[in-house]
């Protein structure tokens, strides 16, 4: 199982990261520091999360060189007409000179205007890669008709219980890396009989089975946790392979189960 993926612009991105959605600003630096000390080198934040500052503090206090840590942040929908300023403010909060990946957070009205600004920032070398989040095939098709740059990443909700096979296949065909948030269904499906059975079979936890399923499908995965033990547990997913029959069983669990309200 590969720990890195090469994006369509040649940039290498870790396939496992820590998501920091809903982690309080006051706790973020501590949580991210735990993750970095545990071997993580990919942190996913956003302006709307309100914790970019804590992410930056942890990165700067770490012994790991900045160029070895992959930082994603996102453009919020109210900033679509001020995307360049919003990016600059995100960097100020992070206290970092650049973001590795900058995403349009949602395909709300006027996202096309924002994408042109992201393209400009990328072409100026101010961002390593640009992408989108929560885009379906329809929005990606629209984007392909006017954009100069194919998004490097599309970050979406994805789990065995929300298996978006058609979108996965589309993104693979177009060279867009798919990234899974909420890959653990916020633990709401840990007690499903198939998950429990496979966890026992592979001597892994329910979380590890669900994370590995996404990784084995070729996704980047960003589970969120504030618990040091679970942060470590979620990273111990590269030492086994789920066989084809069990992957098919996990695929069949899809029930379009979303953890968000969108």
Average pLDDT over residues 66-84: 98
Residue 79: φ, ψ to 5°: -110, 15
Say if residue 262's pLDDT is above 80. no
pLDDT digits (tens, 9 = 90+) for 93-107: 999 999 999 999 999
3-state secondary structure of 73: strand
Q: Are 251 and 163 in contact (CB under 8 A)?
A: yes
| Alpha helical stretches, state H, the chain | 25-37, 52-61, 83-94, 111-123, 137-146, 165-174, 193-202, 206-216, 228-235, 244-251
High-pLDDT (> 70) share of the chain, %: 99
Cα separation values, 93 from 35, 42, 82, 261, Å: 20, 18, 16, 28
Q: Which of the residues are catalytic?
A: 49
Query: For residue 235, is it within any domain?
Result: no
Measured in residues, the chain has a length of 262
pLDDT interval class at 260 (50, 70, 90): confident
Query: For residue 195, is it within any domain?
Result: no
Query: For residue 16, is it within any domain?
Result: yes
Question: How big is the CA angle at 225 (ends 222 and 228), to the nearest 5 degrees?
Answer: 120
Query: For residue 200, is it within any domain?
Result: no
Q: What is the Rg, in whole angstroms, of the alpha carbon atoms belonging to the chain?
A: 18
Strand-pairing partners, residue 156, are: 180
Residue 65, domain CATH: 3.20.20.100
pLDDT digits (tens, 9 = 90+) for 131-158: 999 999 999 999 999 999 999 999 999 9
pLDDT digits (tens, 9 = 90+) for 183-225: 999 999 999 999 999 999 999 999 999 999 999 999 999 999 9
Cα separation values, 97 from 59, 82, 248, Å: 12, 19, 44
Q: For residue 93, give its domain range.
A: 4-187+219-228
Query: For residue 249, is it within any domain?
Result: no
Q: Domain total for the chain?
A: 1
Pairing mode, strands 12-14 and 4-6: antiparallel
Average pLDDT over residues 43-56: 98
Within 8 A by CB and 6+ apart from 73, the residues are: 45, 46, 47, 52, 90, 94, 99, 101, 102, 103
Separate counts of helices (H) and strands (E) for the chain:
10, 10
Query: For residue 250, is it within any domain?
Result: no
Q: What is the dihedral of CA 21, 193, 256, 225, to 10 degrees?
A: 0
């Amino acid at each position: 199982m590969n720990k890195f993926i090469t994006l369509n612009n040649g940039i290498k991105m870790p396939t496992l990261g820590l998501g920091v959605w809903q982690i309080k600003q006051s706790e973020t630096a501590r949580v991210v520091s735990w993750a970095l000390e545990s071997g993580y080198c990919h942190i996913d934040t956003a302006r709307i999360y309100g914790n970019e500052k804590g992410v930056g503090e942890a990165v700067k206090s770490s012994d790991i060189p900045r160029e070895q840590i992959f930082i994603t942040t996102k453009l919020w929908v109210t900033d679509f007409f001020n995307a360049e300023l919003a990016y600059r403010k995100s960097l100020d909060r992070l206290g970092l000179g650049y973001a590795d990946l900058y995403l349009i957070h949602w395909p709300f009205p006027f996202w096309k205007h924002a994408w042109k600004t992201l393209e400009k920032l990328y072409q100026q070398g101010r961002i390593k890669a640009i992408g989108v989040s929560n885009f379906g095939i329809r929005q990606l098709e629209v984007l392909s008709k006017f954009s100069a740059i194919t998004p490097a990443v599309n970050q979406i909700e994805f789990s065995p219980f929300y298996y978006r096979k058609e979108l996965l296949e589309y993104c693979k065909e177009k060279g867009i890396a798919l990234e899974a948030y909420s890959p653990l269904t916020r633990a709401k499906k840990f007690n499903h009989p198939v998950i429990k059975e496979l966890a026992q079979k592979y001597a892994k936890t329910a979380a590890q089975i669900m994370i590995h399923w996404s990784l084995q499908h070729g996704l980047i995965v960003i589970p969120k946790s504030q618990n040091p033990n679970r942060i470590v547990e979620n990273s111990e997913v590269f030492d086994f392979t789920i066989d084809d029959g069990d992957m098919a069983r996990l695929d069949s669990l899809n029930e379009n189960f979303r953890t968000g309200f969108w």
